[in-house]
Each structure stands twice: as structure tokens, then as C-alpha cells.
Structure 1
Amino acid sequence: MSTESLNDIAKDLSAFVGTHFVYTYDNGWKYEWYARNDNTCDYRIHQGLVGGRWVTHQTMNAVQFAPGIYKVDWHEPTGTCVSLLFDIERKIIHGTIFFPQWIAGENQHPEKTICYQNEFIDDMHRFRDEGPAYPYVVIPEFARVTYMKNEGPDNDAVISMAPGQLPDDFFEGK
């Protein structure tokens, strides 16, 4: 297969864009994520270190890694980097979060990020710049998808309110 063919495959996000996922990591953290379009995502964190945080229109890089397997990466205004690998067929996700020290390190302050980030971008930049950033706290985890539905691209109704609005059994696939 030529490099050009690989690039064509990687750019085909048609089966991924518009998909809404609800999932729970093996460590118990509960997340919700939406592929808004081919270069932005929305998400809510229902439980975990930064449970209560939510973001819309987060710029991301997305590729189709193989048929039914998609990889997305982004860098947040907080200094956090995220990489997610979605295996649609098996309904699993592998996520790696690279938290700066100020969020997840020895003198952590994750509570500063628990908000609707879009309304506090300047604050997130200030917290990031005040640091410390290094060494990053790297958290790799697998997650099981309990809900997956294509809601169409650029659907503002998918992630439209703060976390905590879903019943607990939603994360159990009911």
C-alpha cells in the first residue's frame, strides 16, 4: 500500500464524525465524548480527578488508524494533553492523559479546572503558565463503552449542559 493510500484511509472519518460515546475507565472514571466534526470534539467528565469539567469545540487531530479504529489527540489550554484510541467494533477505548503537575502532581489543584472551560480560557492559560507543568503525570487506561450513537455532526444538543445530568445506570449500559 502506498503512502498516499494510507493518507486517504486516515482522512476518512465519515463513520466516526457525529458519534457520541459514554464510557467508564478501568480506574472508575466516567466520561462522555462526542466527535463534533473532523477537527473538534466536546466532552464531559462525570467522575474522576477532574469530574465536573466539560468542554465544547475542543480542537483535535483525528485519524482513522484502521477500519473501525480511530485515534484523536488534543492539547488543552490547561496544558493537559489527551490521546484516545477508539475501537468501535469491540466498544473499547484506550486513553492516555498527560496531566501537568499543577493538576495531578504533588501540589495538585484539579478543582481549578472543574468548570465549563469555554467560559474560563484566560484562567486556564494563567493556571497553566503559573504551573508547575513538569514532570507530567501520565495516566494510561482502558475504558468500556456503555453507550454509542451517531448523533450527526455539529449537534449542539449532545454535550449541552454540565456533568451530573445522566443517571448512574447510563454508565452501565441501561
Structure 2
Amino acid sequence: MTEKKFKTLDDFLGTHFIYTYDNGWEYEWYAKNDHTVDYRIHGGMVAGRWVKDQEANIVMLTEGIYKVAWTEPTGTDVALDFVPNEKKLNGTIFFPAWVKQHPEITVTFQNEHIDRMHEAREKYDTYPKLVVPEFAHITYIGDAGQNNEDVISEAPYDGITDDIREGRYFDENYRRINK
């Protein structure tokens, strides 16, 4: 885990995080560049879901504090506030009613099933939304560099976050080991 100090937006971009919400849900998230994020979900009602190239609004609120927000093809809205120097995060996820009722539809590699997400979004109820506001503890910070396609490049599996934290997943150049 890197121990760099975050001050600028450039310090944040290209960073790979693993964090666990206070409710126990574990997420892995990568600031791919100034407008795109990749992520895998390892715990919670949509564990197993993974996404590449999600368009997002990424800004620095003040030195070392960042806000990221986006809307998924599912209709889920996400707002994350990162305070990496303190290894903290606050996130709010706004799940449409259909995701709460049918989470299994979303548990896939979203990029290959965008039409399915749009279809479910139109077919099922949006309201009432399930709002999940949670604090999280950042358990891993990696300096992957921007636009590194190796960071989020396969489906989540049991133990992947431990493999990453314990140095068994990436080499010294932040490339996947055992592709």
C-alpha cells in the first residue's frame, strides 16, 4: 500500500483503492483518469458486479479531499467523498427500487450487458429508491497510474482483495500477475 500524501487532483487520478463500508460491504475502485472510473464490488447486495470506463464527475473539493459522482446505466446514482490521507471515505448510493428487488440482474460485467441494464431500468420500478449512506475505511491505496487496463480487468473472486493487499496480484509495475 502506498503511503503518498494526497494534495492535488493529479495525486488522486490513477489511484486504486479498496475500502469497506461500515455496513461490511467491500468495494474496489480505480480513478482511471479525470473523467472515468473502474470498479469491482466484493460485498453487499450486488457483490460480483464489475464495471469499466464508467463516466464520472471527479473534482478536488480542497487539498486532499475529492468528490466523485456518476449515474450508472442501471439508474443507480453514486456520490463518493474520498479523504485518502485519513484513509476515510463517505459514500451514498441511490439504488432504484428494481435493483433492490432484482440485484442479480446487475451482478455481471456491466459493459457486456448495457442493453440488459437499460431494459431492466425501463421494465421495473424506480421508486422508492434505496438510499445507502455509509462511511468507509480505506484498506488499500495503490499507485496504478492513469489508464492502466490491468487494474480492473477480471471478475471479482473470493480472496482477490487479499491477493491485492498482500502483493500477489500486481507486479512492481502495477501489471497483473498470472493473466
Fold match (TM-score > 0.5): yes
SS of residue matched to 2:153: coil
**Distance change in 2, residues 1:45/1:158 (3 Å):** same
Structure 2 SS opposite 1:47: coil
TM-score, reference length from structure 1:
0.87
Segments of structure 1 that go 5 or more residues without pairing to the other structure are 1-11
Residue 117 of structure 2 aligns with which residue? 124
| TM-score (normalised: structure 2) | 0.85
* Residue 148 (structure 1) aligns with: 141
Match of 2:128 among 116, 135, 143: 135
2:10 alignment partner, SS class: coil
Matches for 1:23-102 after TM superposition, within 5 Å: 23-102=19-98
Indicate the SS of the match to 1:14.
Answer: helix
Aligned to 1:164: 157
Equivalent residues of 1:146, 1:170 under 8 A apart: no
The Cα shift of 1:164 comes to 1.4
C-alpha distance in structure 1 between counterparts of 2:105 and 2:145, whole Å: 32
Question: Identity percentage over the alignment?
Answer: 55
- After the TM superposition, which segments of 4 or more aligned residues of structure 1 sit over 4 Å from their partners? 167-171
How many residues are treated as equivalent by the alignment?
159
Letter in 2 for 1:115: T
User: Shift in Å at residue 166 of structure 1?
Assistant: 3.6
Which residue number in structure 2 is paired with residue 115 of structure 1? 108
Q: Give the aligned partner of residue 6 of structure 1.
A: none
Q: In structure 1, the residue corresponding to 2:118 is in which secondary structure?
A: helix
CA distance in 2, matches of 1:165, 1:40: 26
Distance 1:73 1:166 in 2: 28
Equivalent residues of 2:18, 2:161 under 8 A apart? no
| Partners of 1:167 and 1:132 in 2: CA distance | 34
Q: Name the SS for the 1:55 alignment partner.
A: strand
Distance 2:43 2:136 in 1: 13
Alpha-carbon shift at residue 47 of structure 1 (Å): 1.0
1:103 aligns with 2:96: no
Q: Aligned partners of 1:53, 1:118: CA distance in 2, in Å?
A: 10
Distance change (3 Å), C-alpha of 1:96 and 1:147: same
